[in-house]
């Protein structure tokens, strides 16, 4: 299908706009999806949106798919704007960084600049998280993890003993630890394991995620389970030199089903 372009439009701007409109109409089940948002901006061209102050906002006519060239002095509800820059966005909305929660699905292109340069709060949309959580909270995964923690604790406490009978037992513990690690890895993915963890350590993706995202979720719909004044308090992560407050687990070392 050929679409006739307006002489006032940038042909390259139509594809992202049509894509956004079709996607949002399908996702929200209504062609009037713009009524749900205070401001709609398409073709922001990140990361230039954060770094290039010479790109002004342009008003888009959704019927003719043409952009106006008159200066945009305010961002109004119900309109569609293209391009622009974050400096103009902040000055027109009056929103300081601490009051902005910005969501994106790409850790680097979406979240790095807002959190590092602007001080915005950021949220990452990670679709893979839902499947990983189902596996991590399964009874089998919990049993393997409990066994692994117990084995590692015993190996740590008894490694300096040299009695022959204990050495043989410790070799068995090491073998069972290897098997527990293998089971936990293959439960997520037989080739590379979890997206978020490599045995004890976070993956590179997980480290970047923690650096650039204040919170992350599988879907933004999950926020509907919380009130607007809810405060997310992160879990404390113990550093290697800090006291280990994990309690010893009194669990029999039996093979999970």
Supply the pLDDT for residue 7: 31
Q: Which residues of the chain have pLDDT under 70?
A: 1-16, 62, 244-257
Enter the pTM of the model: 0.74
Place of tokens 């293959």: 186
pLDDT of residue 184: 93
| β 197-198/121-125 pair status | unpaired
The structure tokens listed for 219 are: 């879907």
Length of the chain: 257
- What radius of gyration do the chain's Cα atoms show? 26
Q: What is the pLDDT of residue 15?
A: 56
Q: Which of 44, 211, 234, 205 is nearest to 112 (CA)?
A: 211
Q: Which of 52, 57, 25 is nearest to 41 (CA)?
A: 57
Tokens representing 93 are 């909305």
pLDDT at 198: 87
* Residue bearing tokens 């995964």: 141
Q: Which helix (H) or strand (E) holds 58?
A: strand 57-61
Tell me the torsion sign for CA atoms 252, 253, 256, 257.
negative
Q: Which two tokens stand for residue 134?
A: 């189902």
- The whole-angstrom separation of Cα 18 and Cα 28 is 15
pLDDT tens digit sequence for 87-114: 999 999 888 777 888 999 888 888 998 9
Q: What pLDDT was estimated at residue 16?
A: 63
Note the pLDDT of residue 246: 60
Residue 98 phi, psi dihedral angles, 5° rounding: -65, -15
């Amino acid at each position: 299908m050929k679409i006739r372009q307006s002489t006032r439009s940038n042909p390259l701007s139509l594809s992202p706009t049509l894509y956004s409109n079709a996607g949002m109409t399908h996702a929200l089940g209504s062609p009037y999806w713009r009524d749900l948002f205070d401001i709609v901006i398409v073709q922001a061209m990140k990361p230039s949106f954060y770094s290039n102050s010479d790109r002004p906002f342009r008003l888009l006519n959704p019927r003719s798919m043409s952009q106006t060239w008159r200066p945009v002095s305010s961002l109004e509800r119900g309109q569609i704007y293209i391009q622009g820059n974050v400096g103009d966005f902040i000055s027109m909305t009056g929103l300081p960084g601490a009051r902005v929660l910005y969501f994106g699905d790409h850790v680097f292109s979406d979240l790095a600049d807002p959190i590092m340069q602007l001080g915005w709060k950021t949220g990452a949309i990670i679709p893979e998280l839902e499947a990983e959580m189902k596996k991590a909270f399964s009874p089998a995964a919990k049993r393997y993890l409990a066994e692994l923690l117990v084995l590692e604790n015993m190996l740590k406490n008894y490694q300096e003993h040299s009695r022959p009978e204990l050495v043989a037992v410790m070799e068995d513990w090491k073998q069972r630890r290897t098997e527990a690690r293998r089971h936990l890895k293959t439960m997520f993915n037989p080739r590379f394991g979890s997206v978020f963890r490599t045995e004890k350590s976070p993956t590179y993706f997980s480290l970047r995620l923690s650096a650039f995202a204040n919170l992350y979720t599988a879907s933004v719909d999950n926020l509907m389970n919380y009130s607007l004044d809810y405060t997310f308090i992160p879990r404390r992560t113990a550093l290697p030199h800090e006291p280990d407050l994990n309690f010893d687990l009194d669990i029999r070392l039996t093979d999970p089903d």
